[in-house]
Amino acid sequence: MLKAILFDLSGVLYDGDQVIDGAVDAIERVQDTSLDIRFITNTSQKTRQRILDGLKEMGFSISDSQVYTATEIAKQWLEENDRRPYCLVHKQIREEFDELDQSDPNAVLIGDAGEDFTFANLNRAFQLCQQGAVLAGIGYNRYYSQDDQLMLDAGPFIKAIEFAADTEATILGKPSETFFEQVLATTGAKPEEALMIGDDVFGDVEGAIKAGLQGCLVRTGKYQQSDEDKISGDFFVAGSIVDAVEHALKQSD
């Protein structure tokens, strides 16, 4: 019996600034049920406020408290662990970390920094880790989709620094089991009573399955042909959020 649905945002509800066909209605449908609904995103190119504003503009009925971002989880983790981070993140979210002491860094935080992934910045991240700073990542996504092109996300750069400095990053956000647990703790659902719907076969679907949730892959957003063959485990494949919601509601009646 399904009790909660977790939705990824980009690629599931919208693609760039285009709403996925039927997505607004699909969200309205699930919001009208007794299911716990959460929206969880690794996007690190936008602040929480810009994400919420964007959803509103596109016509989605989503309350602030339903949205969980990896960026905020990362900030919280840095605070709780008394870390002074060197933030290699996108200029559009840099302000989110303004309150933190960033002098004499004892941590490196890597998000999707886009054009700021320069040799100099990556080398600084590496040197700090080599000198003992801990490495943290906002998600571990390999790529995202933009204007019908796949673009490198934070994951490959986190991987590069892990390899160079012979270390393992703490991943905040998906596919970290801790993140799924944190979000589920705000619902009444056990892992097996929750369904994660996403377009990232690794970060969303594989991550959810490993954390004990049910997984659903949508063939929109960054989805590439044969993605479903890249991971093992049982999961549902849906044409889009519309079919995914249909599938979910069948299990909750």
In the complex, the residues that contact a copy of itself under the rule CB under 8 A are 114-120, 122-123, 126-127, 130, 142-143, 149-153, 155-157, 159-161, 163-164, 166, 224, 230
Note whether 43 and 67 are within 8 A (CB). no
Residue 44 or residue 214: which is nearer to a copy of itself going by CB? 44
Residue 113 or residue 209: which is nearer to a copy of itself going by CB? 113
Q: Give the list of residues 6+ apart from residue 222 with CB closer than 8 angstroms, or none.
A: 11, 143, 144, 145, 150, 199, 200
Of 36, 180, 151, 161, nearest to 109 by C-alpha is 161
Q: Provide, rounded to whole angstroms, the least separation between the CB of residue 135 and a copy of itself.
A: 12
Of 253, 250, 240, nearest to 24 by C-alpha is 240
Q: Provide, rounded to whole angstroms, the least separation between the CB of residue 58 and a copy of itself.
A: 27
User: What number of other Cβ atoms are within 10 A of residue 228's Cβ?
Assistant: 14
Residue 92 or residue 130: which is nearer to a copy of itself going by CB? 130
Q: Provide, rounded to whole angstroms, the least separation between the CB of residue 160 and a copy of itself.
A: 4
**What is the distance, to the nearest Å, from the Cα of residue 153 to the centroid of all Cα atoms in its chain?**
11
Q: Provide, rounded to whole angstroms, the least separation between the CB of residue 50 and a copy of itself.
A: 21
Q: Provide, rounded to whole angstroms, the least separation between the CB of residue 70 and a copy of itself.
A: 18
Residue 22 or residue 114: which is nearer to a copy of itself going by CB? 114
**What is the distance, to the nearest Å, from the Cα of residue 202 to the centroid of all Cα atoms in its chain?**
11
- Token representation of residue 14: 């919208």
Residue 122 or residue 197: which is nearer to a copy of itself going by CB? 122
**What is d(CA 179, CA 185) in angstroms, rounded to the nearest whole number?**
10
**What is d(CA 188, CA 243) in angstroms, rounded to the nearest whole number?**
24
Residue 38 or residue 90: which is nearer to a copy of itself going by CB? 90
Residue 18 or residue 226: which is nearer to a copy of itself going by CB? 226
Three-state DSSP at 173 gives coil
Q: Provide, rounded to whole angstroms, the least separation between the CB of residue 118 and a copy of itself.
A: 6
Q: Provide, rounded to whole angstroms, the least separation between the CB of residue 227 and a copy of itself.
A: 10
46 phi/psi in degrees, rounded to 5: -135, 145
Dihedral sign computed on CA atoms, order 199, 203, 204, 206: positive
